[in-house]
Amino acid sequence: MKKRLERGLVHIYTGNGKGKTTAALGLSLRALGRGFKVCFIQFLKGRMKLNDGAFLALKRIRNFEHASYGTGKFVIGKPSRRDFQEASRAFEHAKDAIMKGKYEVVVLDEITHAVNLGLIDVDEVIKLIQRKPSMVEIVLTGRAADQRLIDIADLVTEMREVKHPFSHGVRAREGIEF
């Protein structure tokens, strides 16, 4: 018999500190360990995250789906037409993953940033959350979560940067940051 959640909640991991995606990965790992199916959709990352050590390990695990959308470049300034297309593809995937009930946990990594850039309409995200099947847990990550998303979430955690090695010239390290 397939394991189901009795009640799926909505989480937001936001803030300027490191750890939002990592927290979502930790929750995903816990869910997988309990037999749940997890879909992890990354907005604005594209090919950047396909060689991330965490995803290289998780793709070997049954019941885990990972998809990464974006151009592979940071969106600085005005988003390009391709940025909009990639965000739209990611959001369509998210709607499908959430509404079909195939997964107990769906992570929308960096969706708050896609909203902030105007790539995804916050009202569409809210509608999706309001229409989600009751047994689906949704995790939204990214900096500066819109207050309307915070208001409807069940759990909100803000990561606050206190100190970061990047500010001292330490670059991202394989196996630690990616």
Note whether residue 1 is domain-resident: no
Q: With beta carbons less than 8 A apart as the criterion, state whether 15 and 111 touch.
A: no
Q: What total of structural domains would you count in the chain? A: 1
Band of the pLDDT at 1, cuts 50, 70, 90? Answer: very low
Contact between 173 and 28 under an 8 Å Cβ cutoff? The reply is no
Q: Is residue 2 included in any domain, yes or no?
A: no
Which domain range does residue 151 map to? 10-159
CATH code, domain with 53: 3.40.50.300
The per-residue pLDDT for range 148-170, each reduced to its tens digit, is 999 999 999 999 988 878 788 88
In a domain, 39, yes or no: yes
